[in-house]
């Protein structure tokens, strides 16, 4: 077993935390792509059926509110890893 | 929730219900004397409310665009919102008077409310169906 000095161990832990925080931030991209896709489809749906505008906006708003939460989870984890709160 | 077709009304209902549910953690943290939790929670909740309004305005604007530009527009706006979320959490993490976890929970409150509301609607529908079948 190799014994590391405390400074080396701290550096390794900090580096690993930063890499993990960066990896966690990748999860923030998914909802953006999904939301954009949903918005595009909603636009074409409103063009096809203008009378269904209200329910489409309602569904889209709720969907976007919920789907954004995965991105925020990743942000919380990343900040936890960086600041060690 | 599923019976509300007017998006403006839905938004007001979500905000009302969220604030009503949020009274519990705010009052309990005030009674416990944990003012940093109260401040962090209120900070997160206020930003979440403003971001919901922003999201609604973005959706309305996106519907007047073409399909591809709407897709790009919403994607870009999401990343701007994400940056705002980061700023809120960064501020809560750096500031001693704001509790980070409370700010994060405050940001999530609208999502919790929507999910809870959907679950309650689902349970109501299930019970109603069972009562109708029993009759």
According to the model, what pLDDT value does residue B105 have? 93
According to the model, what pLDDT value does residue B104 have? 92
Q: How many CB atoms lie within 10 A of CB B28?
A: 12
Contacts of B70 in chain A (CB under 8 A): 36, 39-40, 42-43
What is the DSSP track for chain A?
Answer: -PPPPHHHHHHHHHHHHHHHHHHHHGGGHHHHHHHHHHHHHHHHHHHH-GGGHHHHHHHHHHHHHHHHHHHHHHHHHHHHHHH--
Q: State the Cα–Cα distance between residues B40 and B26, nearest whole angstrom.
A: 10
Side-chain half-sphere of B59: how many Cα atoms within 13 Å?
A: 28
Q: What percent of chain B has pLDDT over 70?
A: 98
According to the model, what pLDDT value does residue A68 have? 87
Within 2-61 of A, beta carbons closer than 8 Å to B belong to 28, 31-33, 35-44, 46, 53-55, 57-58, 60-61
According to the model, what pLDDT value does residue B87 have? 92
DSSP type of residue B17: H
- Is residue A60 within 8 Å of A43, Cβ to Cβ? no
pLDDT under 70: residue ranges of chain B: 1-3
Integer angstrom CA distances of residue B126 from A62, B112, B133, B135: 22, 21, 11, 14
Enumerate the H helices of B33-66 as residue ranges: 35-62
- Is residue B113 within 8 Å of B55, Cβ to Cβ? no
Q: What chain A residue is nearest to B71 in terms of C-alpha separation?
A: A36
Within 63-82 of B, beta carbons closer than 8 Å to A belong to 63, 65-68, 70-75, 78-79, 81-82
Q: State the Cα–Cα distance between residues B129 and B135, nearest whole angstrom.
A: 10
Q: What chain A residue is nearest to B84 in terms of C-alpha separation?
A: A72
- Is residue B36 within 8 Å of B102, Cβ to Cβ? yes
Tell me the pLDDT tens digit for each residue of B26-44: 999 999 998 999 999 999 9
Q: State the Cα–Cα distance between residues B130 and B135, nearest whole angstrom.
A: 9
Residue A28's pLDDT band (boundaries 50, 70, 90)? confident
**Chain-chain contact of B108 with A72 (C-beta, under 8 angstroms):** yes
CB-nearest to A58 from B5, B73, B81 is: B5
According to the model, what pLDDT value does residue B27 have? 94
- Is residue B20 within 8 Å of B32, Cβ to Cβ? no
In degrees, rounded to 5, the angle at the alpha carbon of residue B56 between the alpha carbons of residues B55 and B59 is 85
According to the model, what pLDDT value does residue A85 have? 64
Q: What percent of chain A has pLDDT over 90?
A: 14
According to the model, what pLDDT value does residue A3 have? 77
CB-nearest to A35 from B14, B56, B75 is: B75
Residue A19's pLDDT band (boundaries 50, 70, 90)? very high
Q: What is the ipTM of this complex?
A: 0.83
According to the model, what pLDDT value does residue B44 have? 94
Q: How many CB atoms lie within 10 A of CB A40?
A: 22
Mutation pick from A25, A26, A35 vs chain B, by most beta carbons of B within 10 Å, is A35
In whole numbers, what is the pLDDT of chain B averaged over residues? 90
Q: What chain A residue is nearest to B116 in terms of C-alpha separation?
A: A66
Contacts of B91 in chain A (CB under 8 A): none
- Is the minimum CB–CB distance between A85 and chain B shorter than 8 Å? yes
């Amino acid at each position: 077993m190799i014994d590391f000095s405390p400074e080396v161990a701290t550096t390794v832990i900090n580096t690993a935390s930063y890499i993990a925080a960066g990896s966690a931030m990748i999860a923030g991209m998914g909802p953006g792509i999904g939301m954009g896709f949903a918005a595009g489809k909603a636009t074409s749906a409103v063009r096809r059926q203008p009378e269904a505008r209200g329910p489409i906006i309602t569904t889209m708003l709720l969907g976007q509110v919920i789907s954004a939460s995965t991105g925020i989870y990743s942000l919380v984890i990343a900040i936890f890893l960086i600041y060690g709160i | 929730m599923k019976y509300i077709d007017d998006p403006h009304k839905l938004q007001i209902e979500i905000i009302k219900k969220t604030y009503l549910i949020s009274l519990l953690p705010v009052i309990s943290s005030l009674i416990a004397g944990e003012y940093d939790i109260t401040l962090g929670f209120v900070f997160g909740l206020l930003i979440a409310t403003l971001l919901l309004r922003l999201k609604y305005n973005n959706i309305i604007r996106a519907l007047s665009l073409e399909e591809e530009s709407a897709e790009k527009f919403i994607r870009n706006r999401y990343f701007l919102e994400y940056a705002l979320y980061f700023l809120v959490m960064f501020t809560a993490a750096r500031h001693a008077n704001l509790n980070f976890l409370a700010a994060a929970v405050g940001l999530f409150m609208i999502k919790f409310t929507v999910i809870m509301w959907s679950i309650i609607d689902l349970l109501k529908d299930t019970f109603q169906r069972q009562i109708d079948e029993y009759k």
